[in-house]
Amino acid sequence: MKLIVGLGNPGPQYEKTRHNAGFMAVDQLQKRWATGVTPKGRFSGVCVETSIKSERVLLLKPATYMNLSGRSVAEALGFYKLNPMSDLLIIVDDVALPTGSIRVRSAGGPGGHNGLTDVQRALGTDQYPRLRIGVDACPPMMKLEDYVLGRFTPEQAALLEPAIDKAADAAELFATAGVTAAMNKFNSKPESNPPPSAQSSEN
């Protein structure tokens, strides 16, 4: 059994906001693997139990609001007696990554993300995999809270759609092959063009 948790805020006023990128990825997984299954209210959230290929998976969206996400995660982990280091994947938005990119990590600090901060508090460890979905940095002179609770610009939305698909792909690989396999496949950087050689100045 694997637990895949998308972090976000419940309610229509928060739909499609940057802070709900984790919810969007879990919704995409549900479309792929649990079509027609009615979500249930459990573990202080909304969840669907399904299978991704041969692996049983619980898809969970906490209903506690972002800053209290840890309670929902801890309840589900405890019920199924899962190991957070190998059985849990948290999907979150990240202002340190450009929109359109994703990053998988096996562990690490919260990086200023309130949802991850509360998950770490509830679990007593930062040793759990997480999948970060880029939403671009907060513009200067704008409060971070206002930015992440705002909706994507049309330009960002065009980049976000394939990123959500890629995040769902990465979560599927995590569920079936583990976090190392997901990191190896989805963290690889495309080859960049070499920098142009310096031009010698003419005297």
Paired tokens of 49 = 């139990």
18 class by beta-carbon count within 10 Å (0-12 exposed, 13-18 middle, 19+ buried): buried
Separation CA 65–CA 28 (nearest Å): 20
Paired tokens of 122 = 């509830």
Q: In what order do the strands lie in the sheet with 40-42?
A: 40-42, 45-52, 55-62, 2-6, 88-94, 130-134, 102-105
Count of alpha carbons within 13 angstroms of residue 44, beta-carbon side: 18
Q: Which of 25, 114, 22 is nearest to 68 (CA)?
A: 114
- Confirm whether 113 is a catalytic residue: no
- List the catalytic residue out of 19, 113, 130, 132: 19
Separation CA 158–CA 162 (nearest Å): 8
* Catalytically active residues, by annotation: 19
